[in-house]
Amino acid sequence: MMAIIGFIVALILFKHFSRRLKHYRQVSLGEEVMDEMPYATSWHQEWERHWAAKFRRQAEWRQWCVDHHHARYEPRRRRRRREREEAELRRADGAPAGTA
């Protein structure tokens, strides 16, 4: 009984990964190329494609973080820079730093 269940599970897993491999080949090579070269995608090409996509997503995420940080804190920096410059001008004129 256990051998039959094991065989059925193995058959299901084989079919599952067979369909998945076929899908990845179609995605990486395109449908028209897939008909001409059924086994053209190697594991190395798939590996490179996977990691290239991952690094691209990480780069996009980092750029979003930089843009978000810049948009959030740049107005505050400009205001502080303007206040510093005004205080330096007041000191240069001889007025106390706390007066407007």
User: What would the 3-class secondary structure string for 67-94 be?
Assistant: HHHHHHHHHHHHHHHHHHHHHHHHHHHC
The one-letter code for the residue type at 78 is R
Answering whether pTM is above 0.75, one says: no
Per-residue pLDDT tens over the stretch 12-48: 999 998 988 888 777 777 655 445 555 556 778 888 8
What are the CA-CA distances from residue 11 to residues 1, 7, 17, 41 (Å)?
16, 6, 10, 24
Task: Choose between 29 and 73: higher pLDDT.
Answer: 73
DSSP string covering 11-47? HHHHHHHHHHHHHHHHHHH-HHHHHH-TT---HHHHH
